[in-house]
Structure 1
Amino acid sequence: MTHLSLEPILARIHQAEAFDEMRCVRDQVQEMFREHLLLSYTAELGDQINLVHDTFIGRTAELAESMLEAEGLGKPPVEYAFFLLGSGGRSEQTLWSDQDNGLIYADSETYPQEALEGYFSRLVSLILHGLDVLGYPPCEGNVVSSNPQWRKSEAGYRAMTLEWLTDPNWENMRYLLILADIRCIYGAPRLVERLKSMMLTYIAEHPAILDNLLSNTLRHKISLGIFGQLITERYGEDAGGFDIKYGAYIPIVNGIRLLAIQAGIAESSTMMRIRLLREQGAVAEPLTREWETAFGTAIRLRNATPFQVEEEKYTTRGRLTAEQLTKETRQMLKQCLRTGVELQKYVAKSIESYREKG
């Protein structure tokens, strides 16, 4: 496959002075990447896709700041971080990823809370408008910075996170697992790093919470039948297809994430989490190599799902079509799923063993 040079693309994004201008660049980039994906998916191509997304989102935040200054609201009153969650937080976005984001701003003794909230609420509205223009659909679960839950001061986030940690109900555990994938995309990374460190330190000191995180982690089962057959879609326009996102990719991501939390690993990328689990001696090398292969298959096939533009947004249903499930793909997918099943068993045993030891 011909090497894809990103320098001219990144330069055009950085030089863009309006959201509409960036949308034109994104449309061109989508087509260019789509052609490469039709030939072959590689880890390098996945990294390039994520770098371009990061650049689009970072430039959007930068332009939003400039717009606020032009409106007379000035520069940000305190430092802040605009961060990504979900696949964006893990640097695993596909061409059609949606918006999973939040904003954290520093505490201040100079500016009243009402003034800070007013500024950052307006900033977020401009950022999300820009991402909307660029074709990023909003998160269906409302994990987005327009939701006050995901737009707070550092003290506000710490209080909310502590509340989740001390009241381990199902919903709070879901939020903690979402937060574990946090990654700063623009602004002051230390605000994000301190929050993640606080969460990991608390869990290390109160390991019983891993049991609560486990049940949430295992809620998505690998889509492999008891006789080793793929569990495909039975009805509708996706009949005969395979839900690669929730049947393979998400269960693997979830399992690796909990092992990383257990080991105190702050890294959010799934592949880096596997690597660090191996390097720290938390998991034997042969197992981690199997997980890397399975995850590579899952993310490769996830990038192969058809996508479309609906209401100017890039979207996908996250399913491989029946036609895409060739004999070769089925064999590769089944091996990925078998590894995924064993991974989920390993995670459950690991948490049980950890609990029994202390």
Structure 2
Amino acid sequence: MNHLSMEQILERIYLSEQFEEMRITRDQVHEMFREHLLFPYRSELGQQINQVHDALIHRTTQIAEHLLEDEGYGKPPVAYAFILLGSGGRREQTLWSDQDNGIIYGDSETHTQDELDLYFDKLASYIIRGLDVLGYPPCEGNVISSNPQWRKSLQGYTEMMISWFMEPDWENVRYLLILADMRCMYGSEVLVKKLKQSFIDYVQEHPELLRYLLSNTLHHKISLGIFSHLITERYGEDAGGFDIKYGAYIPIVNGIRLLAIQAGILATSTIERIKQLKVTGFVSEQLAHDWEMAFTIALKLRDLTPFQLEEEKYTTRGKLTAEQLNKEIRLELKQCLRTGIQLQKYVSKSIDLHIEREKR
């Protein structure tokens, strides 16, 4: 397997006819990538990991469609999109990412709502079963297409989204920010783009909503003390380790996402969002460079966290061990965290100024 090119790996995935067949490929590719992580980090590695995830999930959806057709349910009754949310939506999955997904489908003049519900409920169950076989654990927050909340028509999603905007409590804002990262994995890009555009348009028409989004965005603080010391885990099996996911990666992701929403940017990848913020003149080249560097460090260190297989699912607690925090890693991490703190301050100030301007 070490000698297979990306083209050969992808071909093997797309030639698979069964979920179990793909699981064998995933396990082999997983070990291949783990070996690469022992050497100096390359950003291309993260891109390749996400390319493999995309292929596995894309092919899983295709096979699920075929299984439904074989059982007599026919082809999809309307256009639909299988969407990825969370790190999958941002193309930032690690080797051990979980499932965050949904289904958006179009309207129909020839099928009843019950018929559409039946088909897409079945389709979701087959996709989730396939991803389960492949070793993707379900999202702990139940943000998954087997949950009817994340399996709706475009109109249903739009109405749900607006209801969240109209009552922006903590939970609804959390859902809105999850939705902001959606990406079409399979099916109709048009449906996804329409929902994304509706999201951006609504915020631009109601700029005061940015204040609610900001509160949630800043919930996770950068884990760097006032004397530039790392805030590490104090207790348990991770004692002395560092929570790279929630102490560095998530705060940076959240800050960049909110600036992208403010700027009306539809991209979901954090790197792409930074690039578009720079290209549109929303932020300076120097800031964009600093943020991209900090984010790249966070991605690299997140990929180094230990993983485990639990009930045949790949999982991680997202923490670097105390042993991994050598002098070089600590220096790099502190550089990333200092930039992250500056980013959070910038986002807060940017939103405040934007809302004040809109009031005039």
- The answer to whether the superposition gives a TM-score over 0.5 is yes
Distance 1:43 1:193 in 2: 27
Distance 1:170 1:39 in 2: 41
- In structure 2, the partner of 1:104 is 104
What is the SS of the residue equivalent to 2:37? helix
Deviations 1:230-284 (A, max 9, x none): 0000111111100000000000000000000000000000000000000000001
Deviations 1:127-157 (A, max 9, x none): 0000000000000011000111000011100
How far does residue 40 in structure 1 lie from its aligned partner after superposition? Answer: 2.6
Report matched runs for 1:162-201 at 5 Å.
162-201=162-201
Asked if the contact 1:41–1:303 (Cα under 8 Å) also holds between the matched residues in 2, the reply is no
Report matched runs for 1:311-326 at 5 Å.
311-326=311-326
- In structure 1, the partner of 2:301 is 301
Distance 2:155 2:348 in 1: 34
Report matched runs for 1:272-291 at 5 Å.
272-291=272-291
Distance 1:342 1:39 in 2: 30
- In structure 1, the partner of 2:142 is 142
Q: 1:348 to 1:3 in 2, by over 3 A?
A: farther
TM-score (norm 1): 0.99
> Residue 139 of structure 1 aligns to which amino acid in structure 2?
C
Q: Does 1:31 align with 2:12?
A: no
In structure 2, stretches of 5+ residues that fail to align are none
Q: Please report the RMSD computed on the Cα atoms of aligned residues, expressed in angstroms.
A: 1.0
- In structure 1, the partner of 2:49 is 49
Report matched runs for 1:1-358 at 5 Å.
5-358=5-358
How far does residue 97 in structure 1 lie from its aligned partner after superposition? Answer: 0.3
Deviations 1:19-42 (A, max 9, x none): 000000000000001001111321
Asked if the contact 1:105–1:152 (Cα under 8 Å) also holds between the matched residues in 2, the reply is yes
> Residue 76 of structure 1 aligns to which amino acid in structure 2?
P
Distance 1:125 1:270 in 2: 30
How far does residue 329 in structure 1 lie from its aligned partner after superposition? Answer: 0.4
In structure 1, stretches of 5+ residues that fail to align are none
Distance 1:281 1:294 in 2: 20
TM-score (norm 2): 0.98
Deviations 1:57-109 (A, max 9, x none): 00000000000000011000001000000000000000000000000110112
User: How many residue pairs are counted as aligned between the two chains?
Assistant: 357
Distance 1:241 1:167 in 2: 38
> Residue 247 of structure 1 aligns to which amino acid in structure 2?
G
Distance 1:206 1:109 in 2: 33
Distance 1:41 1:16 in 2: 30
What is the SS of the residue equivalent to 1:82? strand
Bigger shift: residues 33-42 or 236-245: 33-42
Distance 2:201 2:38 in 1: 44
What is the SS of the residue equivalent to 2:350? helix
Asked if the contact 1:220–1:250 (Cα under 8 Å) also holds between the matched residues in 2, the reply is yes
What is the SS of the residue equivalent to 1:39? coil
What is the SS of the residue equivalent to 1:309? strand
How far does residue 4 in structure 1 lie from its aligned partner after superposition? Answer: 7.2
> Residue 245 of structure 2 aligns to which amino acid in structure 1?
K
Runs of 4+ that moved beyond 6 A: none
Bigger shift: residues 2-11 or 74-83: 2-11
How far does residue 207 in structure 1 lie from its aligned partner after superposition? Answer: 0.6
